[in-house]
Amino acid sequence: MLEGLVSRLAFLVSSIYKALRCKEPISGEIFSYIHLLYEICPYFKFGYLYAWPGGPPRIHITGIKDSISTYARGGGIEIVGRRLSSVVASCNVPFEFYPVAASCSNIEIKHLNVRPGEPLAVNFALVLHHMHDESVEIQNYRDRLLRMVKSLSPKIVTLVEQESNTNTVQLFPHFLKTLKYYPSVFESIYVALPRDHKE
């Protein structure tokens, strides 16, 4: 939050911004932190666990690559495919994984490998708040994606999303909404872990 505010003044006080800039963690550390956050915060875990109740007799997943998650994972969407394969193999579930190297803003139906007659489930897990709408860009990528998914008539759509719209151009409302949202995440961490816990 501090970096975000100071960066707005960077053209006036660039030396202060450089002094305050945090050291970015390496991708392996981020993946470890994300896993810990998933275990600690019930709302993240709930959203992911309850996206496929009971499990299907056969499953095929199309995974969409995005640059932010690639950095956090320490590699491409193929890493997700390998991890999923090992999990479903232990449950004896027939499984296919199709990685798609495209951002959610540019994804098209032809990328999704949807098969006629196959029941379709769509899981938006912390995706939509990264996508810009008409308040930021001329084209509303978020609505375009939602309309495309609706046209596919999925049997179920699950939505896991933070209760905060941070896709606004104006700094002040963006900052206030972000400041209001993140204390709930920090409170979960504070309750679950001791203050001196390294991760």
Sequence ranges of the domains in the chain: 25-60+105-192
pLDDT of residue 65: 75
Is residue 73 within 8 A of residue 37, CB to CB? The reply is no
pLDDT of residue 20: 60
pLDDT of residue 192: 86
Two structure tokens written together for 163: 């209760």
DSSP state of 198: -
Is residue 72 within 8 A of residue 34, CB to CB? The reply is yes
pTM attached to this predicted model: 0.62
Cα–Cα distance, 185 to 78 (Å, whole number): 29
Over the chain (199 residues), the average pLDDT of each successive run of 10 is 70 58 67 78 70 68 72 67 83 84 82 88 81 74 90 90 70 81 83 83
Q: How many CA atoms lie within 13 A of 24 on its CB side?
A: 6
Nearest CA to 159 among 133, 181, 127, 182?
A: 127
